[in-house]
Amino acid sequence: MKLTRRILVRSAAASALAIGAPAIVRNPAAAADELVFVGFGGAYQEGQKKALFEPFERETGIKIVQTTGVELAKLKAQVQSRNIEWDLICLPDRLRYTAQQDGLLEKLDYSRLDTADILAETVSEYCVGAITFCTQLTYNKQALPAGVTPAGWADFWNTAKIPGRRGLFSGPVNMLEFALLADGVAKDKLYPLDVARALKSLGKLKANGVWWTQFPQAGQMLQSKEVAMTPWTRGPGLILEGQPIGVSFDGAAISYEGWVVPKGTKKFDAAMKFIAFALQPARQAELTKHVVFGPTNKKAFPLVDPKVAALLPSNPENFRQGFLLNGDWWGPNLTKVTEQFNEWRLT
């Protein structure tokens, strides 16, 4: 299919704004003893159900009614019409900024939350961290020369030293940060992003890169050896399955999802009860049995299987090697930078 500007803008913007594209399910109005949660679906939401929602219902009698389709446009419409359908969301940081700026969220009642051991970087007036995840250098060991282990983004960019095709995500989020790190920018000097410098650095991989738009694509390309390495989020899961995959946390882009409460919900009290429950170390540790996302509660780590804990982004050693994606920068800049990124891809 011919790559046109319209197709590129649509696909890249969609990829940058969402982890996935779950179906939107019409949900009923919740009863007094119910909370409506909107999530991203898939294995992640199924894990939330087993580790969080079902135990919460057994403990409190408050049922979590689940739906999918996290869209800020829908949330904004609900708030503006004062017809709130959702009571609870686990929102990625890059969307949290916009939701907060648009007045779509309630301030959390921290007198009811124990955040002493929650990663400070994930705690704000309107949001408290639920899980951490990261995009990191991921490679197929069998697609690389014997004895070669890429250590960071400089190795990813060095196709002369380490041959093999590179998978490239077709959106600017993370890719620009990685390009700057490969070009010598220090982790603590990334923001505000020098977009022109990042695109120039990224241009060095254009001839050797294979673009992907959906997360499963990256895994398929790695496993088939179509690419030797790629930025990706799901390498740890394949490692735990025993596949010949390796990851590096050096320069990994670490981000988080946090619990937020839509503005105007009539279930604020129940939502706060749930958030307090979900922040408990045992609950966060239980979630790692279903999805390889990191706890935000530091006390959860002793309860996590050591083999899993070693692969989680909020593991202190891994967290130290990576950097925290800056949602406050991406929030107001995403649309403009996505357009610039798309124009660059067409040149």
Alpha helices in the chain (DSSP H): 5-17, 42-48, 54-60, 72-81, 93-101, 153-157, 175-182, 195-202, 215-223, 235-240, 268-278, 281-287, 306-309, 316-321, 327-346
pLDDT tens for 266-312 read: 999 999 999 999 999 999 999 999 999 999 999 999 999 999 999 99
Q: What is the mean pLDDT of residues 73-89?
A: 96
At residue 5, does pLDDT exceed 70? no
Residue 33: the pLDDT is 87
Residue 347: the pLDDT is 85
pLDDT band at 31 (very low <50, low <70, confident <90, very high): low
User: Domain ranges in the chain?
Assistant: 21-132+256-317, 134-254
pLDDT tens for 150-179 read: 999 999 999 999 999 999 999 999 999 999
The CATH number corresponding to 134-254 among 3.20.20.105, 3.40.50.1100, 3.40.228.10, 3.40.190.10 equals 3.40.190.10
**CATH number for the segment(s) 21-132+256-317:** 3.40.190.10
Domains 21-132+256-317 and 134-254 share a fold: yes
Q: What is the mean pLDDT of the chain?
A: 90
Rg of the chain on CA atoms, in Å: 20
* DSSP code per residue over 174-242: THHHHHHHHTT--GGG-PSP-HHHHHHHHGGGGGGEEEE-SHHHHHHHHHTTS-SEEEES-HHHHHHTT
Which amino acid, 98? T
pLDDT band at 206 (very low <50, low <70, confident <90, very high): confident
